[in-house]
Chains A and B, each alone.
Chain A
Amino acid sequence: MRFRCKIVDVSCLNHFTRVVNTITKLTKSCTLRLTPANLYFILTDKVANGGVSMWCELCQANFFDEYQMEGVSVEQNEIYLEMVPENISRALKTAQNAKFVKIKLTNKHCPCLTMAVELPSLSSTSRIVTHDIPVTVIPRRLWNDFKEPTVPDFDVSIYLPAIKTMKSVVERMKNLSNFIVIEANRNGEIILKIETDLVSVSTHFKDLGNPHLISIDASQNSIQERDPDFMSEARVDIRKLLQFLAGQQVNPNKSICNIVHKRMVHFILLHDDVSLQYFIPALA
Chain B
Amino acid sequence: MKSVISVFRSLPSLEKTVEKCLISLNTNSSRLVIQLFCKYGVTKTHNLSYQDCESLQALYNTDTCPNVLRAPARLLSDAVVHFPLTLSEVTLMASPGKVILKNYVEDEVDPNKAMLTELSLSREEFLEYQLQKLDPITFCLREFRGLLGFAESSGLPISIHFDCAGCPAVFSVDDTVLEAHFVLATLSDTDLASQSQNYGAALPNNNDDDFLGDDLDYMIAMETTLAGASSPPHSPVFNNRPLPGPTLEEQAVSSGDEDEEEREVPGTPPNKKFRSLFFGSILQSSGQAAQEVLAEDSDG
Question: Which residues of A come within 8 Å of B, CB atoms?
Answer: 2, 4, 68, 87, 90-91, 94, 102, 104, 106-110, 112, 116, 121-125, 127-134
Closest to A119 in B: B78
Most B Cβ at <10 Å: residue of A2, A102, A109: A109
Q: Which of A87, A94, A125 sits near B122, CB closer than 8 Å?
A: A125
Cβ-defined contact, B112 with A134, below 8 A: yes
Closest to B114 in A: A134
Cβ-defined contact, B115 with A87, below 8 A: yes
User: Taking the nearest CB of chain B, how far is it from the CB of A24, in angstroms?
Assistant: 13
Chain B window 167-192, contacts with chain A (Cβ cutoff 8 Å), 1 for yes, 0 for no:
00000000000000000000000000
- Distance of A276 Cα from B90 Cα, bound (Å): 37
Cβ-defined contact, B114 with A130, below 8 A: no
- Distance of A132 Cα from B222 Cα, bound (Å): 11
Cβ-defined contact, B215 with A127, below 8 A: no
For B118, list chain A residues within 8 Å (CB).
129-132
For A102, list chain B residues within 8 Å (CB).
215
Cβ-defined contact, B120 with A127, below 8 A: yes
For B112, list chain A residues within 8 Å (CB).
109-110, 134
Cβ-defined contact, B202 with A109, below 8 A: yes
Q: Which segment of B79-87, B133-141, B233-241, B270-278 sits at the interface?
A: B79-87
- Asked whether A134 and B115 contact (CB < 8 A) given A108-B205, A109-B205, the answer is yes
Cβ-defined contact, B115 with A132, below 8 A: yes
Closest to B201 in A: A109
- Distance of A47 Cα from B218 Cα, bound (Å): 43
- Distance of A31 Cα from B276 Cα, bound (Å): 46
- Distance of A124 Cα from B218 Cα, bound (Å): 16
Q: Which of A4, A109, A124 sits near B231, CB closer than 8 Å?
A: A109
For B208, list chain A residues within 8 Å (CB).
107
Cβ-defined contact, A110 with B222, below 8 A: no
Pull 5 A–B residue pairs with CB atoms less than 8 Å apart, ordered by A: A102-B215, A108-B116, A121-B125, A127-B125, A129-B118
For A130, list chain B residues within 8 Å (CB).
117-119, 222
How many chain B residues sit at the interface, stated as a range, is: 20 to 34
- Distance of A2 Cα from B213 Cα, bound (Å): 14
Closest to A126 in B: B122
Cβ-defined contact, A121 with B206, below 8 A: no
Closest to A121 in B: B125
For B231, list chain A residues within 8 Å (CB).
109
Q: Which of A108, A121, A123, A129 sits near B117, CB closer than 8 Å?
A: A129
For B297, list chain A residues within 8 Å (CB).
none
- Distance of A261 Cα from B131 Cα, bound (Å): 71
- Distance of A278 Cα from B202 Cα, bound (Å): 40
Q: Determine whether B209 belongs to the interface, using a CB cutoff of 8 Å to chain A.
A: yes
Chain B window 95-135, contacts with chain A (Cβ cutoff 8 Å), 1 for yes, 0 for no:
00000000000000001111111111110110000000000
For B117, list chain A residues within 8 Å (CB).
91, 129-132
- Distance of A57 Cα from B115 Cα, bound (Å): 25
Cβ-defined contact, A90 with B84, below 8 A: yes
Q: Which of A87, A128, A131, A133 sits near B218, CB closer than 8 Å?
A: A128
For B209, list chain A residues within 8 Å (CB).
106-108
For A94, list chain B residues within 8 Å (CB).
81-82
Closest to B97 in A: A125
Q: Determine whether B232 belongs to the interface, using a CB cutoff of 8 Å to chain A.
A: yes
Q: Determine whether B212 belongs to the interface, using a CB cutoff of 8 Å to chain A.
A: yes
- Distance of A102 Cα from B82 Cα, bound (Å): 16
- Distance of A2 Cα from B211 Cα, bound (Å): 9
- Distance of A110 Cα from B231 Cα, bound (Å): 12
- Distance of A68 Cα from B118 Cα, bound (Å): 24
For A134, list chain B residues within 8 Å (CB).
112-115
For A124, list chain B residues within 8 Å (CB).
124
Q: Which of B113, B121, B206, B218 sits near A108, CB closer than 8 Å?
A: B206
Q: Determine whether B210 belongs to the interface, using a CB cutoff of 8 Å to chain A.
A: yes
Most B Cβ at <10 Å: residue of A102, A127, A131: A127
User: Taking the nearest CB of chain B, how far is it from the CB of A28, in angstroms?
Assistant: 12
For A129, list chain B residues within 8 Å (CB).
82, 117-120
- Asked whether A4 and B119 contact (CB < 8 A) given A109-B232, A110-B112, A116-B218, the answer is no
Cβ-defined contact, A131 with B205, below 8 A: no
Closest to A104 in B: B215
Cβ-defined contact, A122 with B125, below 8 A: yes
Chain B window 60-102, contacts with chain A (Cβ cutoff 8 Å), 1 for yes, 0 for no:
0000000000000001000101101000000000000000000
For A109, list chain B residues within 8 Å (CB).
111-112, 202, 205, 231-232
